[in-house]
Amino acid sequence: EGVQKNPFNTAAITLTIDQYFEAPVTVDYMTRRQSQVDVVSKAQNESAYALSKKIDSTLCDLFSSLNGATIRGVDGSAWTDNILIAAVEELDEADIPEENRCWVSDPSVKADIMKIDKFTRNDYFAGDAVVTGMFRKDIYGGPLLITNNLTAVSSGTGSYGVYMHRDALAIAIQENLDVDRVDQPLKHQLVINTTALWGVAELRDVGGVPIYTRLS
């Protein structure tokens, strides 16, 4: 009939909420009395930042298992144009939508991309000028996202980056992070503690291609 009556994958995918983390920061009473700097506000930001890095790391841990754990590139080697094109081709052949794809890598890859002329020279593309020291916002249609929280290769040199579609991985996290402010007068200090509960899971194995990075 030419009609697929059930186009949806009915196999259940389990996403377990099993990640719990807290990031306490202590501010003593004497420091709180400083009038020039809002130390408590800085402490709250520091606590939230520590938590965001932990959440980022748990998602990055899943990169290496995508694509059947077949990883592009060579550990400790630079990303080249051929590696980028091969990753794009792999997702194209898997019928992954071009929209909502992205590259996730570390600062070493950013440096690698800055050495590839087609991403830094104006004569390769029409449009806005490339800012000195930067490159095109998108690489073959996907933005390049930089993080220092990639998972390092065991007994290796680099880490696991990825080229992926948004639906390759999933994260479920409480909407509002809990922030506790606990006064400890006997210790003359205030404890600011941010907590979160979340879980991550792989949704679509062919939706991403892991790529070795040059440095960890």
DSSP character at residue 131: P
**Amino acid making up residue 58:** T
Q: Could you tell me how many helices (H) and strands (E) the chain has, helices first?
A: 4, 9
The Cα 58–Cα 56 span in angstroms is 6
Amino acid 135 reads: F
Query: Are the C-beta atoms of residues 207 and 91 closer than 8 Å to each other?
Result: yes
> Number of C-alpha atoms within 13 angstroms, CB side, residue 192?
20
Report the amino acid identity of residue 92. D
Tens-digit pLDDT profile for residues 112-167: 998 988 887 766 665 655 555 556 668 999 999 999 999 999 999 999 999 999 99
Query: What tokens appear for 1 in the block?
Result: 């009939």
Q: Tell me which residue of 211, 143, 204, 193 sits closest to 40, measured CA to CA.
A: 193
What are the residues facing 20 on neighbouring strands?
197
50: Cα within 13 Å, side-chain hemisphere: 16
Nearest C-alpha neighbor of 151 from the set 61, 69, 53, 59: 61
Tell me the C-alpha to C-alpha distance, in Å, between residue 41 and each of 26, 183, 192.
12, 15, 10
Q: Give the tokens for residue 129.
A: 């000028």
pLDDT 10s per residue in the chain (216 long)? 455 566 666 677 899 999 999 999 999 999 888 768 888 889 999 999 999 999 999 999 999 999 999 999 999 999 999 999 999 999 999 999 999 999 999 999 999 998 988 887 766 665 655 555 556 668 999 999 999 999 999 999 999 999 999 999 999 997 777 889 999 999 999 999 999 999 999 999 999 999 999 998
Model confidence, pTM: 0.86
Report the alpha-carbon distance of residue 109 to residue 210 in Å, rounded: 13
187/36 Cα distance (integer angstroms): 24
Contact by Cβ (8 Å): 149, 160? no
Half-sphere exposure of 3 toward its Cβ, with a 13 Å CA cutoff?
2
Structure tokens at 183: 């006064």
